[in-house]
Structure formats: C-alpha cells, structure tokens
Structure 1
C-alpha cells in the first residue's frame, strides 16, 4: 500500500534595509540597536565577528580601529576579534580557501546562530562571506554593510550568497536572507568613477523592467549622476533597492525554483563577459553591455521600438558606460566555442535549469520572456554595438551610415 504525507512549511522572512551615514561613529546607535534588537542588553551579549573588504580598508585606513572603538563603547556588544580583512573584487569568489578562512574564524571565535557576522565591502565580498555564514552552523546571522553603488542598490538587499566554481559565476551558493542591511552612503564617496557609474547599470535594469517613471528620472538625471551628484545618487540607490525588494517579495519565486528570473535582464551575456575578461570587467560594466545587447537584439527583432532603443543607449552613453567590449566579439560568435559570448546562453540555461528563459523588452517597463534567441540576430546586434561604441556622435547617426 502506498502512503504519502505532504508537509507544508510556511516561512516568513523579515529584514530591514537601512540607509544612513557614518554607521561606525561612536554616537551612532543604528548598528547597536540592530544587533541588540528588542531584547534587554543584560539578557544576552551578542558576539560579533566583522569581516572587511581590504579595498575598503585601503580607502578608509582608520576603519578597522574605528570599528573596534565603536564596539568598545557599547557595553551590550562583544566584538570577538579585530576585524578580519579579506581580498575584495570578484576574484575573492574564486580564490581557494577564503570561504574556509571565514568559517574557521566563525568557529574560533564562537559565532553561533545567535551571534553575528558583519560583512563590510563590495558585492563580491558580501557574496563570499554570506556563503561562509550561511553554511556555518546551517546559518549564522549575517549583517551586510555594502560599500559600493552596486551592492547598496542590488546585490546586498537580496537573498542570495555565492562563490564561483568550475569556471562559472555563482555556481556554489545558498538562499539565506540577511539579518539586516545597513547602507552607509559615506562609503560611496571614495569610489572610482567606474564603480560609481557601473553600479547604475542595475538601476537602469530594474527601471527598464518595472518602473517607466524611474527610467525617465534616470534619463533626466544621467548627467548629474555622471558628475557624481550625491543627492541624485542617494535617490538612485534608494529607488533601485526598493524595486529589487518589491520584486523579491512579490514575484512569487524569491528562491528561484522556476526557470524565470526577470531581474537577470542583461545578465546572461554579462556573466559570460566577466568570465571572458578574467573578471577584469566589473559586474556593473558587464551588465551595461548585456543590457545594450539584449535591447539591440529586441530592436532588430522588431520587439522594441527604435525610439526606446535609442533612449536606452543614450542613457548608457551619458552614464559613460560602454555598450561594447572586445570580449563581446571574441570566439567568432560560435555558440559552441567557450570563448564566445553566445556560449553564455547555454550556461545561463544550465544555471537556472529548465527551459532557456530570457527577459527582453517590448517597451520601457514592458518586459516579455523568450525561450530562444536567434544567433544570427545576436551577431548583428554585436556588430551594431561595436559601431555604436566607435562613434563619437549620437547613436541617431548609425542608421544613416548603413549599419542597421
């Protein structure tokens, strides 16, 4: 006789995403209040391990000491050791032994499921530390303190943690929501221009998918953002993070059990381009190229109106984001060649599982999903973007020169 028990386990995750400045100033209570929560300080003294991106330490040389001084002034908290510095950048997700190094520190300093790991850094470090924390004790509390535009407006506010493996981006990972996200806008002031601007590709992405008004705002404020206007960046980061959070909570698939992943618009090519560049290309820069490629493909396929296509490329141009890089034209555009960006389509399908599902646009904030892409049209799109990147004039001159 066959018997079945079907168990349903409803789980609700709640975590705050705070926006502040000078988080580690001794008089700033947000971090302390976040860690102690609603319980009385005397009931339990939370133990804390802090892991910091060494690039952030280079930009803020006194930060390690400042963090130690902050915790020394908080009687209800225990920093178990001086902050642990780890290499930053995408390479940290591929570097052998870094995850184990963080896990060893978690073990050595007695970080249990009621203690905290605070990760301070860019998105790659947050991914790596998050993966280490999520797999220690089957998950210890993680507080993310993102320090780049891209991590504050996108990667840090989500539920994913990952490292690279087998030559593929984010092949190992977990879905583990953070305990809290603390965005400190002061960290953005020392970013190189390429990191300040690159992170805006994710804002453009989510605007194109979900919010025409936000796209129009980005269009109107692109020059100010490129000029490092802090008020404009504050709004861009906040609205982008808000839209990402709305999608995660309201999409019906926060842990990506299906094969549709709208927020990876432009990412099938971006992930491959990062790999082809040996991660010399930053994620935001690669996403900008990926967005340009998919929008050009949609235009050439008759899906996206020409006016919308031109507006999108104009925003990317004003934000000083490239729409073509040499890696896009490598591998003779043969999908069977692992050095071709087209091979990224199959890698993307494998990563999601099921059918290939690619988000495209039929208009601003009008996404659709397709399950195949014509390689011939993609090759044409690459050629168009190569010409666009070479032009010093407005993309409106392209058609008259016979490229399309």
Structure 2
C-alpha cells in the first residue's frame, strides 16, 4: 500500500522596526511596551562588550529602567556581557552561555531575550534564542550603522563554524527591532563607515536614485553628520524589509541579490582573521564585482569610476592583500555550497540594476583584483 498525505500552510510574520532615541530613558515607554506580555514576563539582556565599554552606565540604566517599568516586565538575571564582533560568533562557548541562561533562569517561550550590540552579537544571540525551546522572543537593539540598516532588520541568525561564516544558523524573525540612533555617537570611524557599504549595495542593485543620493551626501556621511546618516539607515532598512517581504524570505532558492559583493567579502573576513570588518570587506567585494562587471562589458568605464570614487570618498579601501592569491577563489566554491547547489552571483548591468550570473571567469577575477590594486594606488597618490 502506498499513501501520500500532503499538507500546506502559511504562517504570517509581523514585526516592527522602530527608529528612536534614548530607549532607556525611564520616561520612554517603547521598550517596556514591547516587553509587556500582560503577565510581567521575564526578560534577559545580552550586551556587546564594546557597547558596554562605550556606555559604562548602561547596565545601571537597564536595571533602573526595569524598576521603573516593573509592572510590565522583570529582569530574571543580571545582563550578560559577551565579546563584540566576530569573536562572539567564532567561539560556540558564547552561544552556549545564552542557551545555559535560558535553562538556569527558566526563560521560556513567553519570555524575552534582548540583545544589544553590533550585528555579530545579534546574530549569535538570535541563534541561541531560536534554538532554545524552539524559539524564544528576541528583541534586537542594534548599535552600529551596519546592524541598524541591514543585519538586525532581517530574519537571519547564526554563528561561524568549520571556519565558515554563518555555517550554523536559522531563519527566524525577531519579535521587534529597536534602533536607538544615540548609540551611533560613540562608534569609531571604522564602524560608523562600515554600514554605509550595505546601503551602497542595495542602491547599486535596486535604486539608482538612492545611489545618487549617497553620492550627493558622501562628504557629510564621511564627516559623521547625523541627519543624513539617519536618512540612509531608514532608507536602507526599508529596502531590506521590502526584499524580505518578497517571494523567498528564507532563501530556499539560490537567488541572493542582497549578497552582492558578499562572496568575496566573507572570504576576505576569514582570510584576515576578521581584522577586516564586515562592512569594509563588503565595500571591497562591491568594488571587485563592479570591476568584474566592467571587464565583462556590462558596466561603462564612467559607471565603474563613479562606484570606486564613491567607495574611496567614504574612506573605504579598495584593495587588501588578502584579495590576491588562490585562497580568495575558494570563496566562490564555499559561496556555492552556502547557496545550496547552483552558484548565483549578483553583478551589475548598470547603476541601479543587478543581474544574476551562474558562473565566474577566475582569470577575469584575478584581472579585476589587479585593477583594484591600481585604483587603490591612484587614490593614495591623489590624497
């Protein structure tokens, strides 16, 4: 006897991305309202060590905020501080600490975990929350440009494993995302700049007008003007959310348009032992794939020059020594594996319009790397 029973259902996902300031001001009720499950539920905070160092009074603010809103939520333990950056994703001990806390403090599916930090810490905490009790409510409070406009607003969580970025991970939407622009004020210049590369990415593949806006405001962005940065973050976040709402939010296929520039970026991060930050690697990855697009006859020389000029004007490097050598090319195979089979790379057909290809000419990649090296030398001379 042979029987087949087929089931089909859909589950709607809804979450807010809130843009605000002073979220731990006791008079500001946004976070407290998010954490109110009607039963005075448990809340557990995990804090990026870099954020804690820049805001040494943060733990006291969290405790005072919880006391002020004790009718809505309760802290089940002192906040946990974990290393910032890729260190939190490279060592599974940190994710295990969060999982252990859910067991020790009885954090259940009606409780909340609040992660405060950069994208790497949010990825790690999100993974721990997703696998504990098959999903604990996660509130993300991203503190970098890159996490506020890109990684934190999406549905991905993960840690690095086997020397591969995000090898272990889940697709689980957050309960909410709360962006506090004031956290950006204490970023160093590298972290301020890094997130801009993700805005360049979405602009190049989806929206020429946004790319032109970034060109027009490049000097102010580089000089840390807050108003244009806020505008960039909101516009970039909206474009990422629009993409997630499309036909493949959990990336079941091999099409990953928002990974433009990322196949090389992920490999560069690993080859540099994560001394190159994600946004910096993405900027070089965008420059590399744009140069490759030019060499394939898809972009004009003027279009390529506009891209590399903007990247340089914002303070990014166009070339790093890890770009040279055969190890970079291994990133293509690892990216194909990450996609689940067919290699799909986003290139540029023109500014504001991406096009997918399913193979890359390795000799042309090497030529593109050499051209980037030349671009970098020219910019150093010009400056």
| 1:113-140: CA deviation from partner (whole Å, max 9, x where unpaired) | 0110000000000000000000000000
3-state SS, counterpart of residue 36 of structure 1:
coil
| 1:19-44: CA deviation from partner (whole Å, max 9, x where unpaired) | 0001011110100111226xxx4xx1
Contact map agreement 2:288 2:368 (CA 8 A) in 1: yes
Aligned equivalents of 1:61 and 1:52: distance in 2? 11
| 1:327-361: CA deviation from partner (whole Å, max 9, x where unpaired) | 111x3xx3xxxxx2111000000011121000000
Instruction: Specify the alignment match of 1:203 in structure 2.
Output: 199
Question: How many Å apart are 1:392 and its aligned residue?
Answer: 3.2
2:189 equivalent to 1:193? yes
Instruction: Specify the alignment match of 1:16 in structure 2.
Output: 16
2:59 equivalent to 1:64? yes
2:313 equivalent to 1:315? no
3-state SS, counterpart of residue 279 of structure 1:
coil
Instruction: Specify the alignment match of 1:328 in structure 2.
Output: 323
Aligned equivalents of 2:67 and 2:28: distance in 1? 13
Q: Which residue of 357, 360, 365 maps to 1:378?
A: 365
Contact map agreement 2:109 2:135 (CA 8 A) in 1: yes
Question: How many Å apart are 1:313 and its aligned residue?
Answer: 0.8
Question: How many Å apart are 1:210 and its aligned residue?
Answer: 1.1
TM-score, normalization: structure 1? Answer: 0.93
Contact map agreement 2:35 2:72 (CA 8 A) in 1: no
- Structure 2: state its 5+ residue gaps: none
Contact map agreement 1:268 1:290 (CA 8 A) in 2: yes
Question: How many Å apart are 1:5 and its aligned residue?
Answer: 1.1
Contact map agreement 1:305 1:362 (CA 8 A) in 2: no
Q: Which residue of 336, 341, 348 maps to 1:349?
A: 336
2:241 equivalent to 1:254? no
3-state SS, counterpart of residue 224 of structure 2:
coil
Question: How many Å apart are 1:394 and its aligned residue?
Answer: 8.9
Aligned equivalents of 1:188 and 1:179: distance in 2? 22
Instruction: Specify the alignment match of 1:337 in structure 2.
Output: none
Question: How many Å apart are 1:2 and its aligned residue?
Answer: 2.1
Contact map agreement 2:160 2:166 (CA 8 A) in 1: yes
2:4 equivalent to 1:4? yes
Query: Where does structure 1 differ by over 4 angstroms across 4 or more consecutive aligned residues?
Result: none
Q: How many residues were matched structurally?
A: 381
Instruction: Specify the alignment match of 1:163 in structure 2.
Output: 159
Instruction: Specify the alignment match of 1:124 in structure 2.
Output: 120
TM-score, normalization: structure 2? Answer: 0.98
3-state SS, counterpart of residue 92 of structure 2:
coil
2:94 equivalent to 1:98? yes
Q: How does 1:207-356 map to 2 (within 5 A)?
A: 207-250=203-246, 252-329=247-324, 331=325, 334=326, 340-356=327-343
Contact map agreement 2:33 2:72 (CA 8 A) in 1: no
Aligned equivalents of 2:207 and 2:29: distance in 1? 34
| 1:125-177: CA deviation from partner (whole Å, max 9, x where unpaired) | 00000000000000000000000000000000000000000010000000110
